[in-house]
Structure 1
Amino acid sequence: MGPTLETCGELLRPLRALMGLKQIAYQRGHFTDQVPYAAAGLLTELVFRGECRASELAHHRFVDASVVSRQVAQLEQADLISRRPDPADRRVSLLRATPEGERAVAELERKKAAWIAEALGDWEDEKVRALTQLLGEATDDIRRRTIDEGVCHAGSSTREGTR
């Protein structure tokens, strides 16, 4: 049967608030020392998903290809990503994080984890694990119904379960 529209509507409020808090933290410069603010999400997505076409990243991130194109240019200029011709279609490039890009994302993730740890300092690990599991399950189900699976090529830097 599934949840009611009312229950799902109640879920939207804390989700919006959570996304807003992340946005505020980025805007205040808590996380973006090495990575251009606007492109941090794209770089993180590329590190976690592995090598991808720009069009696949745009599809997965629900943004226009022109947005990804601008962010890719920023990240290339900062030497955080590189591109190579797609062997299946040499007219298209495959993007991947450089070692410097991977280090920048690792540092970004460490700073975000420290920020959350401070904010949830009164929580027990078990409560955080339970929230992690529920949010992960919800995200997986929403993505499965929203995004075509298998959009990006599996790469050696792909890490499942770490978002």
Structure 2
Amino acid sequence: MGPTPETCGELLRPLRALMGLKQVALQRGLQLSDQVPYAAAGLLTELVHRGECRVSDLAHHRIVDASVVSRQVNQLEQAGLITRRPDPADRRVSLLRTTEVGDQVVADLEQKKAEWIGEALGDWEDTQVRELARLLGDAMSDIRRHTIEDGDHADSGMREGTR
């Protein structure tokens, strides 16, 4: 049956607040560095965690247009934080990967963020934080899957309807 719209509405308020913390983190100096453009920082972090992949894969996972990712990739490449090489399976496409400098920049940021969150949740037990992480991870996986599957079904329906 699933949750009611009212219950899901209750979830939206803390999710909005959580998203707003990104700005607070930046204001408190939890940014990557002067060499990483703000808009590209999330992409760099994702590339560290995903490993080598195509621009189209990053765009699909972030649920944005490939042109948005391409601009950010160019910024990161110019900063020396990522490299690209031809995909052996399709030489028209590039595979992206982080450089050692890019890996270190993200590791430093992740450490700063973990310390910041640790201070903020100082009265919580590790088990509570782990449970919250599990629940948020599960929710985001389901929301992402639903969003991507719905988009894929809508796209295929549109393509089939235009034949």
Give the TM-score, by structure 2 length.
Answer: 0.84
Residue 54 (structure 1) aligned with residue 55 (structure 2): yes
- Residues 15-68 of structure 1, C-alpha deviations (whole Å, 9 max, x = no match): 111011113312553222253211110001111111111122112112222221
Contact 1:26–1:37, Cα closer than 8 Å, also in 2: no
Question: Within 1, Cα distance between the matches of 2:27 and 2:96?
Answer: 26
Name 1:7's counterpart in structure 2.
7
- Residues 104-142 of structure 1, C-alpha deviations (whole Å, 9 max, x = no match): 111111011011011111212121111111111112222
Question: Within 1, Cα distance between the matches of 2:120 and 2:74?
Answer: 34
Question: Within 2, Cα distance between the matches of 1:142 and 1:109?
Answer: 24
Question: Within 2, Cα distance between the matches of 1:46 and 1:32?
Answer: 14
Residue 136 (structure 1) aligned with residue 137 (structure 2): yes
- Name which structure has the greater RCO, CA cutoff 8 Å, separation 6+: 1
Work out the percentage of aligned pairs sharing the same amino acid.
77
Question: Within 2, Cα distance between the matches of 1:23 and 1:73?
Answer: 24
Q: Which runs of 5+ in 2 are unaligned?
A: 150-163
Bigger drift between 55-64 and 37-46 goes to 55-64
In structure 2, the residue corresponding to 1:29 is in which secondary structure? coil
Q: Which runs of 5+ in 1 are unaligned?
A: 149-163
Name 2:160's counterpart in structure 1.
none
Question: Within 2, Cα distance between the matches of 1:106 and 1:119?
Answer: 20
Question: Within 2, Cα distance between the matches of 1:11 and 1:20?
Answer: 15
Taking the TM superposition and a 5 Å limit, the aligned residue runs for 1:3-42 are: 3-33=3-33, 34-42=35-43
> Per residue, is there more helix in 1 or in 2?
2
Letter in structure 2 aligned against 1:119: A
Contact 1:80–1:97, Cα closer than 8 Å, also in 2: yes
- Structure of larger gyration radius: 2
Letter in structure 2 aligned against 1:81: I
